[in-house]
Amino acid sequence: MENKAFIGIDLGGTNMRAALVNTSGSILEQIKVSTEISQGAEQATENLLEMCRRLMERAASGQLQVEAIGMGVAGKIDPQNNVVVFSPNLPAMDNFPLGVRMEEALRIPVTMENDANVYGLGENWVGSAQDLNNWVGLTLGTGVGGALIFNNRLWQGDKLGFSAEVGHLVVEPHGLPCTCGSQGCLETLSSGRALMEGVEEAVKKGKLVGGKLFELWQKDRLTAQEIYFCAKEGDSTSLELFRRMGWALGIAISNMFMLLGIRHAIIGGGVSASWDLFIDPLMKTLQTTNRFLNAEQMTVRKSLLGDDAALLGAARLAWDCQWG
Amino acid sequence: MENKAFIGIDLGGTNMRAALVNTSGSILEQIKVSTEISQGAEQATENLLEMCRRLMERAASGQLQVEAIGMGVAGKIDPQNNVVVFSPNLPAMDNFPLGVRMEEALRIPVTMENDANVYGLGENWVGSAQDLNNWVGLTLGTGVGGALIFNNRLWQGDKLGFSAEVGHLVVEPHGLPCTCGSQGCLETLSSGRALMEGVEEAVKKGKLVGGKLFELWQKDRLTAQEIYFCAKEGDSTSLELFRRMGWALGIAISNMFMLLGIRHAIIGGGVSASWDLFIDPLMKTLQTTNRFLNAEQMTVRKSLLGDDAALLGAARLAWDCQWG
């Protein structure tokens, strides 16, 4: 296996990154360019191919053979037909046979998956979950994504184009409307968007009428990170939003442990940087809700790999598809 | 395989049943006796052994060899150590090494599992799920049990002694207290006990002051079945309880489909006999909650095997443990 390598790609709405990864899970080289999806799917594919060719040359110069390419894409993927079904952040890619086109051009296998699933594969391989067999992953970003790893493999269910849609687990059936069309989904309580909308709601209700958080809102400069900073300075509206985030995560994780008979969760994604503000209410809720496990049996860990989780996981996806 | 057979046992608080099952999933002979757990675990074990010996003789007379015994037990089981950890219906069995004792006496492998899991194995083998690979099972009885079948096998998670505890998925986080110590579990809304307590609650609140249902309550003759009959006669309190049952099942099943990327559920257990009263609100809730699947993709089926599901599933458990 020493002379084999894989390319992992993380295709997002803003940037696309590609990495040459060896079988030990080390990134040998990585390239990042802006996605510029506005130039169309064809141009984006050309840019991706150019990155892959450069990494394949780099591999060859080190006596490595790129066996396959794995790709994490933000959106709904049809892995069997290698097609991006629907991607809110990459609208030009909808129904585009990205994987097929790349395979034709590069003549090596290309596999695609949802970006949260690929994050799970990365953490499982060389991240927080190296010692675990069964666990659930959550990614807290604008929305909430998820990954299920069973017996050290990515769980894909009936291969319907989605699985581990943790963000759309209903936590409060009579709760806030969700972008998916349902109500009270985890994503309406525990995402970057939930934080932003929570501030908006506080302003509308007249509960937030002044102070730094209000000013940020007024100047349209609100971000999840700014809300975090306000909370750290003691702002009560912000603190309550992170408490709610932790509470909802606790209910959802309890339900997943109860259903699956497992006891480990890993949380990643940009908004997981606010860990210190949501982990206490999360653990408290988890322990009072899940009565089948003792407190010390349940672990909730932070992602170790950050942004590299998706790159490494995409490479691992390519490997798993090659070597089953 | 033609000369091989298995014994499946369904050990409940009231009765224990044992069946000789061939490799086609046919019951060749079955025996039912009352459990009489009040006489102690030793006596119950003796009775179980006597049933097994009779079935083994029956097998021998038909040139069949009993390879192994599988047992479904209402309660928390430690399958690895063959011990009943905790059983509310069989209190004398708590921490009793039932499987170990039976193996010593009969000198063939004995495997135990939770009764809902064993029901899942039965339906998967020769019941409603024969054509499915991935599905979730729910048993509606006094409480709500569950089973997860992934890739045609029983999912046991991290082998913590529980899995598919569907009854303790939180549906309404601020809802009714559950026997498990949490709040708003599915079991508080969709079980036989939930029906009984719902009537009790209606009386307490002065919403139910007369009529057949009130009289049954007054005479302490209320059962889930009687509540069903009242609903069929148009009683509004009863009808509302079955509507609530269906609604909560719809939320829970939607969450499970969303998390697992699957689309099939099977409902069994005694209270599933009230199918006609809860299936419409269930399907309506499922379809409005799960926006990742079209209505026609999602199926919720009724158990086919009734009481025999556990016997057949227990035999299948024995087989699976023997032949991996």
Among B165, B171, B291, whose Cβ lies nearest the Cβ of A180? Answer: B291
Tell me chain A's radius of gyration from C-alpha atoms. 20
Among B317, B315, B272, smallest CA distance to B128 is for B272
B2 is written with which tokens?
Answer: 């033609």
- Residue A275 forms contact with B (CB below 8 Å): no
Contact (CB<8Å) A169/B263: no
Among A133, A146, A260, whose Cβ lies nearest the Cβ of B163? Answer: A260
- Residue B184 forms contact with A (CB below 8 Å): no
CA distance B170 to chain A (A): 6
Contact B161, B83 (CB under 8 A): no
Q: Residue B289: closest CA among chain A residues belongs to which residue?
A: A182
B177 φ, ψ (degrees, to nearest 5): -65, 140
What is the reported pLDDT for A74?
A: 85
Contact (CB<8Å) A133/B169: no
Contact (CB<8Å) B182/A255: no
- Residue B134 forms contact with A (CB below 8 Å): yes
In angstroms, the Cα distances linking B218 to A60, A166, B223, B225, B229 are 84, 45, 12, 16, 17
Low-confidence ranges of chain B (pLDDT < 50): none
A88 compared with A243, residue with greater pLDDT:
A243
- Interface confidence (ipTM) of the complex: 0.94
Stretch A245-271: mean pLDDT, rounded?
97
A160 is written with which tokens?
Answer: 């319907």
The DSSP H or E segment spanning A260 is helix A236-260
Contact A138, A109 (CB under 8 A): no
- Residue B166 forms contact with A (CB below 8 Å): yes
- Residue A154 forms contact with B (CB below 8 Å): no
Contact A178, A187 (CB under 8 A): yes
Alpha-carbon span A283 to A289, nearest angstrom: 10
Contact (CB<8Å) A150/B148: no
- Residue B261 forms contact with A (CB below 8 Å): yes
What is the reported pLDDT for B58?
A: 97
A14: left (phi over 0), alpha (psi -120 to 50) or beta: alpha
What is the reported pLDDT for B323?
A: 67
Which residues of chain B have a CB within 8 Å of the CB of A289?
170, 182-183
Contact (CB<8Å) A158/B288: no
- Residue A193 forms contact with B (CB below 8 Å): no
Q: Is A261 helix (H, G, I), strand (E, B) or coil?
A: coil
- Residue B273 forms contact with A (CB below 8 Å): no
Alpha-carbon span B19 to B35, nearest angstrom: 15
Residue with tokens 């790893």: A149
**Per-residue confidence band for A324, with pLDDT thresholds at 50, 70 and 90:** low
Number of A:B CB contacts under 8 A?
A: 123
B258 is written with which tokens?
Answer: 């969303």
Contact (CB<8Å) A157/B261: yes
A318 is written with which tokens?
Answer: 């390519």
Contact (CB<8Å) A262/B157: yes
- Residue B86 forms contact with A (CB below 8 Å): no
Contact (CB<8Å) A133/B170: no
What is the reported pLDDT for B1?
A: 62
Q: What is the dihedral of CA A276, A120, A163, A99, to 10 degrees?
A: 130
Among B158, B170, B297, whose Cβ lies nearest the Cβ of A263? Answer: B158
CA distance B157 to chain A (A): 5
Q: In sequence order, what DSSP letters do the residues of A91-155 get, joined into one string?
A: GGGTTB-HHHHHHHHH-S-EEEEEHHHHHHHHHHHHSTTTT-SSEEEEEESSSEEEEEEETTEE-
Q: In sequence order, what DSSP letters do the residues of A30-84 get, joined into one string?
A: EEEEE--GGG-HHHHHHHHHHHHHHHHHHHHHTT-EEEEEEEEESSEEETTTTEE
Tell me chain B's radius of gyration from C-alpha atoms. 20
A237 φ, ψ (degrees, to nearest 5): -60, -45
Which residues of chain B have a CB within 8 Å of the CB of A256?
259
Alpha-carbon span B47 to B59, nearest angstrom: 19
Among A181, A259, A263, whose Cβ lies nearest the Cβ of B164? Answer: A259
What is the reported pLDDT for A254?
A: 98
- A268-323 pLDDT, tens digit per residue, is 999 999 999 999 999 999 999 998 999 999 999 999 999 899 999 999 999 998 76
Stretch A92-106: mean pLDDT, rounded?
94
**Is pLDDT above 80 for A36?**
yes
What is the reported pLDDT for A1?
A: 62
Which residues of chain A have a CB within 8 Å of the CB of B265?
none
CA distance A227 to chain B (A): 26
- Residue A148 forms contact with B (CB below 8 Å): yes
**Amino acid present at A227:** I
Which residues of chain A have a CB within 8 Å of the CB of B164?
259-261
What distance separates the 2 farthest-apart alpha carbons in chain A?
65
What is the reported pLDDT for A52?
A: 98
Which residues of chain B have a CB within 8 Å of the CB of A173?
171-172, 251
